Structure 1
Amino acid sequence: MKTGLRPRKLPKPSPVSILAHGQTEEKCVMQRSLTLSMKVFALLLIGGFTATPVVAQGQLSPSQAQPGDAQPAKAAPGTPPLMLTPTGPPPGADAVLTEQVIIAEPEMIELGEFSTTETKEAVVTLRNSSAEPVTIRSAKASCGCTTADFQRNTVLGPGETTEVKVRMRGGPTARKLNKTVTFTIDGYPQLRVPVVGESISFVKMTPDKLGIDKNPEGVIVLESIDEKPFKITRSTPDVLKVVPAEAANRHEVVVDWDKWWNNAENAKLTFYFEGHDRCNQFFTVVDLNREQRAEIQRRIREKRQSNTTKNSKDKKGSAETAAKPARVADMSTLVRQGRHAELKTRLAEANANVDEKDSSGVTLLGIAAKNGNTEALQILLDAGAEVDATDRVKRTALMHGGTSKNPRVLVMLLENGADVNARDLVIGGPLAWSSAFGNADCVQVLVDAGAELETKGAATGYTPLIWSSAVGDSNSIPILIRAGADIEARDSVDGGTPIMHAAQTGKLEGMKALVEAKANLNAKDRNGKTALLRAAEHNGGTADKIRLLLDNGAEIDVVSTSGQSALDLARVRSDANAVEVIKVLEERMPASKK
């Protein structure tokens, strides 16, 4: 009897999720979209995609070969891979994506548990299963904590293999690691190899969150989870009232918050240890309130400006020390901190620029809109701020305002002539930003103002309905559907529809709205995956989502292009929802398909 708790077959690597560790949704979307655009453009410049004769993906692997069958060739140890000049069709030739012929063994690198101090490594073997030479251009990891030792422009002849060593760092904090190494291959789709593991801190801190307001006494306990003794040597910044002189498996120490304020240049705090072979430091971030965070940000800016001034002096060769100018907060700081009286005073000065931009190119009006600060917004509008001024990626204040979740901001900007259909270089326009990162109230304001419903992001091709289905407020979905949004719109990444995105990463309520609107539950993306398969494969797919799809006509025995069923995909998951998803699928799946 199959329990469903062990994988029968590893899946082909799937595209990386929208969100990355430690990033805000907005920054992550911008980075992913721009990166995807640059990759596509670079591939086209290299020479385009070419269609080469291939051997079927399902041909025998070396372990399956019968006696007398040819075995894959492999270069002798130490022999560098063959390097050839890039080849491909002439510019302008049609780009053709063919079935992948480079096989990764294993298809997923599982590193298991290791400490935050360690760097874990593994080897993945790439094999050319086709009858023609294939050039692997590059390998790139999705995060700086992961690296791959790969010789660029490696050419593999038919049946040849190359080994790639992949390393992952465990630090600085304990967490589940889910990264990807992407291989770019001439004439074929990119090959993504997931790298998963979990880093463990062998020293824990109690309480697990540290902050001046939460822990004014500053008392914390640092304790080894394996009871091995260790010695605390120092902290950065220097914050401990007393550093213990002896090694022990448990230390109770006191953080001196006055020392922290005197020495802190940012919110990071690191304790360093000796004597424990699997933990030499513990890293945390001090929890700050709004005023404390503003002060830390001021110090960071001041240090950056000081370094810039110093470097400028060094370049000029000046030996004189200039007098430090009095620090004056820039207007962007005044807007962010809600210092409205000072903002009015500064705007009244003769040389004041109401359309001043911060270091990331966002106007004062954009900052006020993004923060939902209607008072600052009115002050800037009264001072004559350009309502449709843009930042570096062409976002207007209306787009920033959509992420504030304050519909009054949008109304004020529209009343002052903001373009409801302006286009940015990232995800499409005001309605897309509100659908992805705003709320239903903001979406309603823009729809009522005549916002276009089918704008698409430059790289992802997501429409506002896809954004709201994937990551946005599920209450926005009925609003967009009633306004006439295309319920079967497809993105340009893998042809995903709104119901597929809702099944994969969205909310159950959003899925219900799409089901009620008669979304096609059995439509397939370019990988042959339906909403059911995507829900079964990804962490965002829950048992309730699976039941909703099956109860409303989703085909349970459907398989992807690579021949994997929903049960196959679910069995390789390791998240908290996996067991219940597998249980539901095993109950519903015909016996012949299990």
Structure 2
Amino acid sequence: MIEPLSPLTATRARACVCALLLVAAQSACARQGPNMSHDPSTDPGTAALARAAHSGDLADAKRLIADGANPDATDADGTPLLQAAILRGDRRGFETLLEAGADPAAAAANGNTALHVAAMQDDPTFLKTLLARGLSPDTPNARSGETPLFNALEARNDDAIGTLLTAGAKVDATDRYGATLLHKAARINATGWVVRFLEAGADPTARDRVGATFQPSFFRPRDAVLTPQARSDREKVRAWLVQRRIPVEDKH
């Protein structure tokens, strides 16, 4: 038979339980952090603006902004409303937010602007609309310094790369570590774009922060693991370098 706790012991037990619950609650709040204040779902004005934009109601969107809704508010992941519309493929919401005053240069938590996000989408409408509004095709990522061409290359979005190059994007753009598009194309084994960037005037001797050109990454994979097209691209690059008397850094 279990004996009942004394009044003093019971009081102490209740106090311990309360203290543990308080610590757990504080820990949960700490984990949620500042993102809660940026989540549109916690701000009625911003949530209403998102709905108005999605429905294409420009007048209502402008009214909500005039009343204090932030057109550049971010969600819990740090993504601005305009970028969220692009990611959803929501053309109407995207265009409404732009017309209502959303800033396409506003950076997400990862540093991307709307142009960077648009460069990764299959739908070319978003990218072309932003460029037509005068955004620089060389707009840097706020954190990495990468231009939208890096994003388009990462997504293997050939159409977006072409659109950006036609808009005047620089083929010698670098990120904050000094890596060029050639470096990135070589790292991700986009051999065709290594060829095309070289032909477009990219500097084959450019070195990143550690002093490497694009060649170590480009020539690192063994021929045996390459596709026939990649092997052909490799030979084109080798011939291109030899023709210009640039030392080939192929260690195989």
TM over 0.5: yes
Tell me: CA distance 1:415–1:523, structure 2 relative to 1, closer, same or farther (3 Å).
same
Amino acid paired to 2:118: G
Q: Tell me how far apart the structure 1 counterparts of residues 55 and 189 of structure 2 sit (CA, whole Å).
A: 35
Residues 1:434 and 2:152 aligned together: yes
Residues 1:446 and 2:160 aligned together: no
Amino acid paired to 2:108: D
Match of 2:86 among 369, 376, 382: 369
Secondary structure in 1 matching 2:131: helix
Q: Is the 8 A contact 1:361 1:391 kept in 2?
A: yes
Amino acid paired to 1:452: K
Tell me: CA distance 1:445–1:326, structure 2 relative to 1, closer, same or farther (3 Å).
closer
Note the C-alpha offset of 1:334: 5.6
Equivalent runs, 1:409-428 vs 2, <5 Å: 409-424=126-141, 425-428=143-146
Q: Tell me how far apart the structure 2 counterparts of residues 407 and 381 of structure 1 sit (CA, whole Å).
A: 16
Q: Which runs of 5+ in 2 are unaligned?
A: 1-24, 34-40
Q: Is the 8 A contact 2:82 2:97 kept in 1?
A: yes
Name the residue aligned to 2:248: 523
Match of 1:391 among 97, 104, 108: 108
Q: Tell me how far apart the structure 2 counterparts of residues 463 and 346 of structure 1 sit (CA, whole Å).
A: 44
Amino acid paired to 1:419: S
Amino acid paired to 1:340: H
Q: Tell me how far apart the structure 1 counterparts of residues 135 and 112 of structure 2 sit (CA, whole Å).
A: 12
Q: Which one has a bigger Cα radius of gyration?
A: 1
Q: Is the 8 A contact 2:105 2:114 kept in 1?
A: yes
Amino acid paired to 1:515: E
**How much identity, in percent, do the aligned residues show?**
21
Query: Can you list the C-alpha shifts for 1:198-226, whole angstroms capped at 9, x where unaligned?
Result: xxxxxxxxxxxxxxxxxxxxxxxxxxxxx
Residues 1:308 and 2:25 aligned together: no
Secondary structure in 2 matching 1:446: helix
Q: Tell me how far apart the structure 1 counterparts of residues 105 and 182 of structure 2 sit (CA, whole Å).
A: 24
TM-score (norm 1): 0.30
Amino acid paired to 2:203: D
Q: Larger % of strand: which?
A: 1
Amino acid paired to 2:248: A
Q: Tell me how far apart the structure 2 counterparts of residues 388 and 331 of structure 1 sit (CA, whole Å).
A: 21
Q: Tell me how far apart the structure 2 counterparts of residues 507 and 405 of structure 1 sit (CA, whole Å).
A: 26
Amino acid paired to 2:175: G
Residues 1:455 and 2:173 aligned together: yes
Q: Is the 8 A contact 1:428 1:458 kept in 2?
A: yes
Q: Tell me how far apart the structure 2 counterparts of residues 409 and 326 of structure 1 sit (CA, whole Å).
A: 28
Note the C-alpha offset of 1:441: 0.8
Amino acid paired to 1:362: T
Query: Can you list the C-alpha shifts for 1:470-527, whole angstroms capped at 9, x where unaligned?
Result: 2275554444233211234333345142x43234469643553353143548634xxx
Tell me: CA distance 1:466–1:343, structure 2 relative to 1, closer, same or farther (3 Å).
farther
Give the length in aligned residue pairs: 204
Query: Can you list the C-alpha shifts for 1:380-427, whole angstroms capped at 9, x where unaligned?
Result: 212222122223454321112222243332111101121212222315
Q: Tell me how far apart the structure 2 counterparts of residues 511 and 490 of structure 1 sit (CA, whole Å).
A: 24
Q: Tell me how far apart the structure 2 counterparts of residues 333 and 502 of structure 1 sit (CA, whole Å).
A: 47
Q: Is the 8 A contact 2:195 2:236 kept in 1?
A: no
Query: Can you list the C-alpha shifts for 1:334-388, whole angstroms capped at 9, x where unaligned?
Result: 69xxx92288697353333222122343322223334554333222212222122
Q: Tell me how far apart the structure 2 counterparts of residues 371 and 514 of structure 1 sit (CA, whole Å).
A: 37
Q: Which runs of 5+ in 1 are unaligned?
A: 1-303, 313-324, 525-529, 533-594
Equivalent runs, 1:147-296 vs 2, <5 Å: none
Residues 1:501 and 2:226 aligned together: no
Name the residue aligned to 1:358: 75
Amino acid paired to 2:197: L
Tell me: CA distance 1:375–1:504, structure 2 relative to 1, closer, same or farther (3 Å).
farther
Tell me: CA distance 1:344–1:531, structure 2 relative to 1, closer, same or farther (3 Å).
farther
Amino acid paired to 1:308: C
RMSD over equivalenced CA pairs, Å: 4.0
Q: Is the 8 A contact 1:332 1:357 kept in 2?
A: no
Note the C-alpha offset of 1:444: 0.6
Secondary structure in 1 matching 2:203: coil
Q: Is the 8 A contact 2:46 2:73 kept in 1?
A: no
